[in-house]
Chains A and B, each alone.
Chain A
C-alpha cells in the first residue's frame, strides 16, 4: 500500500543525510520505517484538496527588527569550539576534491 522501503532506499537516505550505518542498523531501519510509513497510510483517506498547508507555528509575517547598528551581538561566539581555526574560520579538509 504505502511506499516500499528496501536496502537501496536506506542506503540512499543515509548518503543524503551523511550518516554511516552499520548493516544491523540498516536492517532495523528498514523494518521500523516500513511500519511507520504503513501507519501514515491513514492520511491518504483524508481529502485535503484546496487546503492551504500550514507552514509553521506562527501567523507572524515579516518579523523584522529595526535597521539599526547593533554592537552587542553573538558574532564570533562559538569559534572557541572549533578544533582548527584559520583567521577566525573553521579549517576543514577541502570541500571539493
Chain B
C-alpha cells in the first residue's frame, strides 16, 4: 500500500485524529503487506494478528470517545524476538527456545503497552543476538529489501528489514556491538543505541549484560526520538537502569543550539583503507551539516585498534555465563523425543549441543576459555583494563566537542554467504560500532540521504553519556534539509 511508505509516527497520529484512517485499517494494511511480501524478505518469525487487530480496534474506540492518547497509540511495531511479550513466542532465533512462550512482559513492552502501541509480530535475528547479518538465525535468513541477494545486517536484521520494507511503522532491536546500528545502515533506516542504562534490560534475553541496550529502528530520526522517549527510564527490575536528566529538547530539539555544535572526526576511523563509498557518502553528509553551521574538528581515539579484541574477549565471557541458563528444559523442552533414564548432566550435553547453533557454541567455548583458571588475568581482566582506556579516550575527546561522527559499517550490505566461513571477517564488520558499546555511549545511525542510488550507507552520531537529545537533534536538523518530505509540519 503506497501510503504506508510515507507514514511517519506523527503523520500516523495526525491521520488517526483527523479520521483519515483508523488504527485497525492501518494495522490490517501492514498485515496485508506482510502476507504479500514477507515470504521473500523473511523479516518476521511469528505474527500477532489477532492481538494486534484487537488492540488497534481498542485505540479506535478510544479515539471515537474523544479520549486523549499518547504519541505511540495504535502505532504498529515489530519487536525483535529476544524481547519478551507475555504469551507470545520468544525464541531469540534459537532451536533451544523453539517452544518457549514468554512468561512476562519486558520493561519496554510494559511501557509500550501503556502507550497502546500495537505489536505486529516478532522479528528474525542472529541466534541470541550473535552476528552481524542475521544469517545465524536457526530458522531462516532475512533478505535486505534493497537487494534480495544481500544481508539486512544483524543481529536486528528482521526488525531493520521490517521497517525498510514497510512491514511496520517502527521496531525495537537490541545492540551489544552494533546490532541496531549496522542493520539500520544496511537497510537505509535510522537506528538508535541508547546510553547504557537509559533503557531497561528487564525481559531482554541477556547476551552481554554490561553492553546490551534495547533501542528503536525507525524510518526517520524524529520517530526514533519519540520511541526512545517512550521506552526509556529507570526500572526496578534492572539495577543498571537510570532515569537520566532529559529535558524537553529530547522531543523538541533546540536547533539554534545544534547549529553551533562541534562534531569530532576521529582520525583512527577515517584512515587510508576506508571503503571509498563509505568515505564519500559521509563527506556528503558532513558538507550538508557544515552548510547550516556545524563545525568539525579532528580528534583522536588512540586505543581504537584494540577495541575488537577487547570486545571479543568480554562479550563471549559474558555470553558463556548468560547462556548457561539454557538447559533445554526450563524454557520448554527443545527435544522431540522423550528422554528417560538419562543423567541430568547428559541431558544438558545433548540439549545444548543440539539446541545451540555454531556461532553460539563458538562464543560460549571462547568465553569459557577466557574465564577459565589460568587464563582469566591474561584475557578477561586485561580486556576490562583496555575497556577503561577506550572509555577514557572518549571522555577526553568530549572535553572539546559535542559529539562524534563516524561510519556505521565498513561498507554497504554484503552478499548473503560472503562472510559465513570466516568468523573473524564477520567480527571485523563491527569495528566502528563496538567502541561505543564498550564506552556505554549513545549512538544513532542515520542514512546518508544525499545518496540517491546504489545501496544505502549510514553514518553514526555518537553522543556524550545521556546525550541523546544532541545526536537526535542534529539528526533531525540534517533530515529536515535532506528529506523534508518527512517533516511537513515544520
Contacts and interface: CB of A to CB of B under 8 A. Distances in A.
Contact of A17 (B309, B368, B375, B385): B368
A36 B333 contact: no
Interface string A33-75: 1011101101100101001111111101001010000000010
B440 interface: yes
A20 B306 contact: no
A46 B389 contact: yes
B358 A51 contact: no
A82 B329 contact: yes
B362 A54 contact: no
13 contacts: A5-B369, A13-B369, A32-B424, A39-B309, A39-B312, A40-B313, A42-B305, A43-B306, A55-B384, A56-B209, A56-B240, A82-B329, A93-B344
Interface stretch (B57-65, B100-108, B160-168, B266-274): B100-108
Interface in B110-161: none
Interface string B191-206: 0000011000000000
Contacts of B210: 55-58
A37 B194 CA distance: 31
Given A52-B388, A53-B385, A81 B330 contact: yes
Nearest to B382: A43
Contact of A65 (B236, B330, B366): B236
B446 interface: no
A79 B440 CA distance: 34
B369 A9 contact: yes
B310 interface: yes
A88 interface: no
A97 interface: yes
Given A42-B306, A83-B333, A32 B362 contact: yes
Given A37-B369, A54-B391, A57-B196, 8 more contacts: A18-B349, A19-B356, A20-B353, A40-B313, A53-B384, A54-B388, A58-B240, A93-B344
Interface string B324-356: 100101111100000000111101111011101
B438 to A, nearest CB: 8
Task: Please name the 3 residue pairs, one residue from A and one from B, whose CB atoms are nearest each other, closest first.
Answer: A20-B353, A53-B384, A48-B385
A23 interface: no
Interface of B: 100-101, 103-104, 196-197, 209-211, 236-237, 239-240, 242, 303, 305-306, 308-310, 312-313, 320, 324, 327, 329-333, 342-345, 347-350, 352-354, 356, 358, 361-362, 364-366, 368-369, 372, 375, 378-379, 381-389, 391, 423-424, 427, 440
Q: B210, B309, B310, B427: which has the most chain A beta carbons within 10 Å?
A: B309
A92 B310 contact: no
A73 to B, nearest CB: 9
Interface residues of A, number: 51
B386 A39 contact: no
Contacts of A92: 329, 344, 347
A77 B105 CA distance: 11
B368 A57 contact: no
B93 to A, nearest CB: 18
Contact of B332 (A37, A55, A63, A81): A81
Given A58-B196, A63-B240, A77-B103, A19 B353 contact: yes
B345 A43 contact: no
A40 B382 CA distance: 10
B440 A58 contact: yes
A25 interface: yes
A33 B384 contact: no
A65 B385 CA distance: 30
A44 B349 CA distance: 35
Given A10-B365, A25-B358, A57 B211 contact: yes
A80 interface: yes
B156 to A, nearest CB: 19
A33 B309 CA distance: 13
Contact of A94 (B101, B197, B306, B344): B344
B131 to A, nearest CB: 14
A37 B424 CA distance: 11
